[in-house]
Structure 1
Amino acid sequence: MDFYWITTALGDIVWLALAFALGLLSRVIGLPPLVGYLAAGFLLNGTGVVSGDVLQQFADLGITLLLFTVGLKLNLRSLAKPQIWAVTGLHTTLVVAVFGLAVYALALFGTPFFAGLDFPQSILVAFALSFSSTVFVVKVLEEKGEMATPHGRIAIGILIMQDLAAVVFLAVSSGKSPSQWALLLVLLVLLRPLLHRLLQRVGHGELLVLFGFVLALGGAEIFELVGLKGDLGALLLGVLISNHSKAEEMAKTMLGFKDLFLLGFFLSIGLSGELTYETFIVGALIAPFVFVKAGLFFALLAYFRLRARTAFLASANLTNFSEFGLIVAMIGVTNGWLDREWLVVLAVALSLSFAIAATLNAMANDLYARHRPLWQRLQRSGRLPDDQPHDIDNATIAIVGMGGVGTGAYDTMRESFGDHVVGVEIDPITVKNQRGMNRKVLLGDPSDADFWDRVQATHTLDLIMLALPKLSTSLEVIEQLKLTSFKGRIAATARFPDEVVALQKAGASTVFNIYTEAGAGYAAHVAATTSPQPAE
């Protein structure tokens, strides 16, 4: 038996241990673990460690799985909205123009490190800085349970458009054209019914995970064979099954694998080049310009009639530089367009922008709530259809989160209280399915105080029942209800005893532990449907 792969993996155990230690430290101080992973990469770089094959394979597989899971949740029709494609195009153009002219001006004035850059090189640096990080944003949205929120969908849509622009750049800059066989890729759409049937038959265990890997890696390999970027193939295969009922389950089962392999990507950023005092200072000076990007995003999204909160939170999500910027810089270095030092500068700027964005996103809801009148003055008066006031008729009970638990709670409460019950859900597909089964469900973000203002503009709810999968989301909803001066009762679900304590401390009047109390509910159900048998 060949144990070479074991010895290779053990040789990298120090990297993994250091990444774990700094990732844990980042979580303790309130930052996402990925900030610690980046710090581990730079620390290893400073000790002379270079990136190895195992780490690079982790990084490549992590990005492939990331784009596959993004495809599983992607609604192509959303990309056709001007709030997506127009904002992306305008923002990229403005950032490249503003940043490019700024960099070129520094070069003309002979500023150290910038001196010697010509205009095309300045534009290339600006183009690398125009992207926002798909890896970072998806991780943050998943951790906060906000992938399906309006601002989450807007941010993901913009990132997909940016990623497609990056793919075009890579194809053009490589000097190679896709194979003539690339035209046959359109035939992959014909595989959709077969993929759906297979997905239906794989069950819920290890076969589901294995099928996910086959689709992600198979799609990547097919695209590579015809001269296209493989990650785009993983994205497409995810899109092909995105409307299947088990797509969400597959995304959840792949989550742990994706997070593990993305560790390699974040470590590889810090190991991308030699870190010097000069490159660190220049990267640190560039990092704050992410706020210029954020301001442009907010202005454009507000101009296209998004509500102030949606525009603000989406802009906060996008307040970072991107791993694609490093790829663009690497292409420039490989082709002799840029000096290698610029790759390190952009890596430093990227890492620091992640720390900035992590802090900003942790505070985003509070920042908006604290200055809500200011932000609302900046939004346009016209409203999009999704932003119209909600009519809940005579409902006095709201079930928030229409998954399995929420749907069961809705049906039970409706049997007792009739039309006085309404559901609330952030996922438009779930809302459509629930309405198709004659349930009264509103589309909205329950962690948005503006949403509750619109709901209660002419109505008063007496009871709000939270059936949400994440503790952080439930706590955020309770906090937003306090901001709207909600006077009714709040019930919530929990999975662990510490979550019960946290929800009660936050203001929930009733907390139901779905694990410890499931047995009692199960026994009560069986007792109610089973006739007692005489004892022998």
Structure 2
Amino acid sequence: MKGLLFFFLLLAFRLRARSGFLSSLALTNYSEFGLIVASVALPDWLVPLAISVAISFVISAPLNRFAHVIFERYASGLSRFEGQKHHPDEQPLSVGNSRVLIMGMGRTGTAAYDWVAKHEPDLMGLDSDPAKALKHQREGRNVVFADAEDASFWHGLHMPEVHSVILALGDIEGKLIAARMLRKLGFRGYIVAHTMYSDEAHQIREAGANEAYLTMDETGVALASHIMHRAEPSPD
């Protein structure tokens, strides 16, 4: 009941169904602060309340672990509860004339952006952290706030000139969702991602990416390339 209450309350504040769903899941478990109140006001109920709080965490933990997957499965049904007007941060996004799109602007995404910018000026970065997007903007990068794991984000995305997408998202679920949605929307360009594990690389390729490189392998290649490109010292 608490989760449902928060879901509809957040929709009333014009958030999209996905934002409301993920937030309500995070708030579903009982607050441990209630135990402090119970120890003073209801000491006889402290033990059953403590058990209830513990059980609520046991239930909510796996739900939050697979929250993105759950929403992706039931997105169409949950989205029916959305209002016609949305919060300003959740409006449809157009990438304009950008030809390269980088999803996730952490360390890997930033390094990729700076390298691509030397060869292709028409590029854009996306990040789900508004503060991080603003920081990149102040540093001169074309980065906007957007959550690539949000199904509603894809429905409002306009990317007519994009020919390549780099998936630099921090979690495997985000990369899988992004790759699947790009192909579902008819994107025929090149999709590349990175990951720490070979089994995840296989999943990313199956989701629609052209290639998924192992992060540590590519780090070794990059280090070796510095030696190969280094000028040979003279015999003297």
Do the two structures share a fold, i.e. TM-score over 0.5? Answer: yes
Counterpart AA for 2:149: S
User: 1:343 maps to which residue?
Assistant: 46
Quick one: distance in 2 between partners of 1:362 and 1:482?
25
- Which string of whole-angstrom CA distances, capped at 9 and with x for unpartnered residues, describes residues 87-114 of structure 1? xxxxxxxxxxxxxxxxxxxxxxxxxxxx
- Map 1:241-390 onto structure 2 (within 5 A): 292-332=1-41, 338-340=42-44, 342-390=45-93
The question of 1:523 aligning with 2:224 is answered: yes
Quick one: distance in 2 between partners of 1:517 and 1:367?
33
Quick one: distance in 1 between partners of 2:62 and 2:216?
33
User: 1:402 maps to which residue?
Assistant: 105
Quick one: distance in 1 between partners of 2:79 and 2:214?
38
Quick one: distance in 2 between partners of 1:513 and 1:461?
24
Q: Alpha-carbon deviation of 1:534? A: 3.9
Question: Does the 8 Å contact 1:401/1:425 carry over to 2?
Answer: yes
User: 2:165 maps to which residue?
Assistant: 464
Where 2:108 maps in the other structure, the secondary structure is helix
User: 2:144 maps to which residue?
Assistant: 442
| More strand per residue | 2
| More helix per residue | 1
- Which string of whole-angstrom CA distances, capped at 9 and with x for unpartnered residues, describes residues 437-478 of structure 1? 22111201111122122223x635332211233334433433
Quick one: distance in 2 between partners of 1:362 and 1:483?
24
User: 1:185 maps to which residue?
Assistant: none
Q: Alpha-carbon deviation of 1:386? A: 0.9
Q: Alpha-carbon deviation of 1:525? A: 3.5
The size of the alignment, in residue pairs, is 236
Q: Alpha-carbon deviation of 1:339? A: 5.0
Q: RMSD between aligned alpha carbons? A: 2.4
Question: Does the 8 Å contact 2:68/2:173 carry over to 1?
Answer: no
Where 1:464 maps in the other structure, the secondary structure is strand
User: 1:39 maps to which residue?
Assistant: none
Where 2:54 maps in the other structure, the secondary structure is helix
- Residue 347 to residue 527, structure 1, CA distance change in 2 (3 Å): same
- Residue 297 to residue 485, structure 1, CA distance change in 2 (3 Å): farther
Quick one: distance in 2 between partners of 1:372 and 1:468?
21
TM-score (norm 2): 0.87
Quick one: distance in 2 between partners of 1:339 and 1:483?
56
User: 1:255 maps to which residue?
Assistant: none
Q: Alpha-carbon deviation of 1:299? A: 1.4
Question: Does the 8 Å contact 1:448/1:480 carry over to 2?
Answer: no
Q: Alpha-carbon deviation of 1:481? A: 3.9
User: 1:416 maps to which residue?
Assistant: 119
The question of 1:494 aligning with 2:203 is answered: no
Larger Rg: 1
Counterpart AA for 1:300: L
Q: Alpha-carbon deviation of 1:300? A: 1.1
Where 1:319 maps in the other structure, the secondary structure is coil
The percent of aligned pairs where both chains have the same amino acid is: 36
Question: Does the 8 Å contact 2:75/2:151 carry over to 1?
Answer: no
Flag structure 2 segments of 5+ consecutive residues without an equivalent: none
Quick one: distance in 1 between partners of 2:148 and 2:49?
37
Q: Alpha-carbon deviation of 1:328? A: 1.5
The question of 1:427 aligning with 2:129 is answered: yes
Quick one: distance in 1 between partners of 2:181 and 2:58?
26
Counterpart AA for 2:10: L
Quick one: distance in 2 between partners of 1:484 and 1:469?
23
Where 1:371 maps in the other structure, the secondary structure is helix
Quick one: distance in 2 between partners of 1:345 and 1:452?
45
Quick one: distance in 2 between partners of 1:492 and 1:468?
9
Counterpart AA for 1:358: A
